[in-house]
Each structure stands twice: as C-alpha cells, then as structure tokens.
Amino acid sequence: MQGSYFVLTPEKVVVVRRFAPLPIRVGAHAIDGFLAIACSGVAGLLAAPFSAIAGPDAGSAVEGLFAVTTLVAYFVLQEWLWQGRTIGKTSLGLRTVMVDGTPPTLLAATYRNLLRIVDMLPIGYALGIGVILANPRGQRLGDIVAGTLVIADSGIPSGFVPAPHHAGIHPIEHTLPPLDRMTMPEYFALKRLCDRFPDLLPETQAKGIHEIWRPFAQAHAIEPAPNVHPIYHMEAVVMKYGLIHNLL
C-alpha cells in the first residue's frame, strides 16, 4: 500500500488523503463487528415470535434473515448517514470515502457492506487482508466493487460545524430567493465544494468561496447574511435546490 493518494477536484484543487493503516482498520472492524453481531443477535430474538408461528424450519429462516439484514444494515446506515463513519471507525479515526474524495453514496455503502458477508467466510478474512495488501489503495473486495476507500480521517477544523445538507430543511433556507435559474452543473459544483470543505486548507477554502460561491451568489442575487459563514449559505442552496428537484 502507498501512504497517500491525491484527488484533483472539479475546482482544480488537489486534496491529499492518507490511507488507513491495516492494523487500525482491523481494530475498527473488530469494534464494529462486535457491535454488529450484538445487534444481529437482538434482531434474531425479536424474530422469535414469528418463528413460533411459522414453525421450526421457516422460523429459523426468518431469524436468519433478520440477523443478516441487521448485520449489513449496521454498516450501511452508519456509513451513509454519518459521512463514511461507523462507531468503530470514528473511535479509531477512520472514514470511508468514494475514490473522488466525497462521502459514500447509499448505493456504494450497500455494495461494499454486502460483500462483508464474503469476508466473514472461513477463508474470508485471509482473502480480504490479502486483497488489501495487494491493492495499492488498500481496497478490499467490497471497496473495489463500490469504488470506495478507507482513509485516516483528518477531522473537521475547530469552529466548523457542517449542516446536514443531504436531508432536512436548512435553518437559513428561508432567506434564499427562488432558485429558478440555477442549473444542475451549478448544483453539483456547490455540493462538491460543501462535501470537501472540511478537508481543504484555509487558503483553499477561501479560494473556493471566491471563485465558485461569490460569482454564483451574485448571479442569483443572494445577499451575504451578517455573521453567517458562506459555507452555510452554500449548504442552504444545495439543500433547497436538491429538495425541489428530488436530488436528496
């Protein structure tokens, strides 16, 4: 495995990512595996009433389905909703991202975690570690299929609290004008900048705001708000446009 890789963003900014060391990945997986199996066991117990009704054979199938679904959902939902993080990854400073540096999509999180079932086979762990060591990006089979990577999380700079622009109503959305002239390329440019903002250096953040946000805000008559950082305005725009066009 190489130590780092570089992402050239659509804003022509190079973002450096550091691959997660294998021992730390194993530790994070051990934490998540323990919690996922515990959740899976609880799901199996909750399916017990159905087992009593369906009979021994069908009941066992129902319990197994509940357990496996919970096991996969533990990873999928956390990685999708928490920007590539799980309890285990967060505790050891790791995160899953798409190969372009953005947070994993629901489809990518589903693909990479469905293939955890292969990793859990008797030879799965040895195979998984072998694939990681042989891959220059440290990808296991699920990462290769989903187009994802596991990186050392750089964290969020002090004082920056991003809004969850993938869902809900942004607190300052009501201050925005109608976005009837906004285009899809503008939406993706702003969304990518919002997604990457915490990982950019301060001077690169300022450049993105100056070269991407300022011209957009001027073109769409969006006035700066007092004591509101431009990133929150950008996220409000992304959320409003995304909800209008069913993109979120």
Tell me the domain boundaries of the chain.
4-152, 173-244
Residue 158 confidence (pLDDT)? 41
Mapping DSSP onto H, E and C, the string for 179-244 reads CCCCCHHHHHHHHHHHHHHHHCCHHHHHHHHHHHHHHHHHHCCCCCCCCCCHHHHHHHHHHHHHHH
Residue 59 confidence (pLDDT)? 62
Residue 164 confidence (pLDDT)? 47
Residue 237 confidence (pLDDT)? 92
pLDDT tens-digit readout, 203-244: 888 899 999 999 999 999 998 877 788 888 898 899 889 888
pLDDT band of residue 162 (cuts 50, 70, 90) is very low
pLDDT tens-digit readout, 79-134: 999 889 999 999 999 999 888 778 899 999 999 998 887 766 666 567 778 888 88
pLDDT band of residue 157 (cuts 50, 70, 90) is very low
Distances from the Cα of 24 to the Cα of 90, 116, 149, 153, angstroms? 11, 17, 14, 12
pLDDT band of residue 161 (cuts 50, 70, 90) is very low
Q: Check if the beta carbon of residue 104 is closer than 8 Å to that of residue 80.
A: yes
Average pLDDT over residues 143-150: 91
